[in-house]
Amino acid sequence: MIRLLIVEDSALMRKLLGQVFSGEGDFEIEFARDGAEALRVISKFRPDVVTLDIHMPLMDGLTCLDRIMLEHPCPVVMVSSLTEEGAEETLAALEIGAVDFIPKPAGAISLGIHELIPPLLEKVRMAASVRIRRSRRLVERVRFAQLAPSAFESAERYRPASVSNTKSKSDAEKFGLVLIGASTGGPPALDSVLASLPAGFGWPIIVAQHMPASFTGPLARRLNKLCSMTVTEVTQPIKIEPGNVYIAKGDADIIISSRAGLLVAMAAPSDQSYRWHPSVDRLVRSALKHVPAANLVGVLMTGMGNDGADAMTDLRAAGGYTIAESEETAVVWGMPGELVRLGGASEIKRVDEIGPLLLERRG
């Protein structure tokens, strides 16, 4: 049995979630109406996983999550609205230590809950299997705590005053791309990798992070505040240039194309032949059509499922270089683990080792 604590101030939402999980037969369920009550229940119930609402009286979800991570570390899945404010709060929760999040149903809760059930069950069951280490992503969490007060203020103090992007002819001939794929646990991992790279990093970086459309804009802006490279969400065709990170728009796919001899990144309607979006597999395959494999680096990080594993295995076979995040640091070793299983990983590295390795090879 999976011991589940549902923390939710809405009596209706508690009832509906309780019905969903009790109907599965493999959950033992307790409830809490706010963060303060949740901490009392956790100390006695010792849940395998917690679903935690963000907006609650007495003690809000972020404060409660921080206390859980300090006092009773366990997997937490946040319940978040799909508004921009909800996205920013959810990203903060993922930095603090939440494993994943689920969106609150829009409109009438009693009607929208049915659309939520399949991903809700999948994510909660996955989270229950995650082993939370007290030291998990400690370096990233310390960095976040130091930067958080100014996370949405000007980032000028984190950027070099000036960085030349002028490239010699030999540099231009070596132009290539870094392709990063991530899902569950991805935002803190992206923070760790991208924050370690200088503004003058030699190759542009394209990121496919599985997220809803309302989350990827706030994610890009947040990363732009924390990183030296310029981070942009791709909502329309954009020229790909060194010193830049391009974040795929959620609920769509990102593809690499060529216009007038220049590489561009484009948001494309999600291709339903791929299960997850933005699709890592589709990103990598599109890049292989326009850039020699030897000039591509694929990085597959934490995430549920196998998105990106097939395409990055093909990338390595064609002469490209691939990095899989190690099981030691991945929140979920699904995507990178599948890449390793297929023999498609040139390297297997801890998340804190990926940025320095990229800098060593392509900086």
| Catalytic (active-site) positions | 183, 210, 307
Contacts of residue 163, defined as CB under 8 A and 6 or more positions apart, other chains included, come to: 198, 199, 200, 243
Longest Cα–Cα distance of the chain, Å, equals 66
Average pLDDT over residues 160-187: 65
Question: Residues 11, 77: one domain?
Answer: yes
Residue 144 located in a structural domain = no
The CATH number given to whatever domain includes residue 170 is 3.40.50.180
Residue 187 to residue 190: CA distance in whole angstroms: 5
Q: Is the peptide bond before 278 cis (omega within 30 degrees of 0)?
A: yes
Q: How large a percentage of the chain has pLDDT more than 90?
A: 77
Q: Indicate the range of 79-83, 92-96, 165-169, 206-210 predicted with least confidence.
A: 165-169
Q: Which residues pair with 322 in a beta bridge?
A: 298
pLDDT in tens, 26-41: 999 999 999 999 999 9
pLDDT in tens, 50-60: 999 999 998 99
3-state secondary structure (DSSP) of residue 254: strand
According to DSSP H, which parts of the chain are helical? 11-22, 35-45, 61-71, 84-96, 109-128, 138-147, 169-173, 186-195, 213-226, 280-288, 309-317, 335-341, 351-362
pLDDT in tens, 64-122: 999 999 999 999 999 988 777 889 999 999 999 999 999 887 655 656 677 788 999 99
The CATH number given to whatever domain includes residue 76 is 3.40.50.2300
Residue 137 located in a structural domain = no
Tokens of 97: 């230590």
Question: Residues 59, 206: one domain?
Answer: no
Q: What is the domain extent for residue 307? A: 164-362
Question: Residues 122, 175: one domain?
Answer: no
Question: Residues 209, 62: one domain?
Answer: no
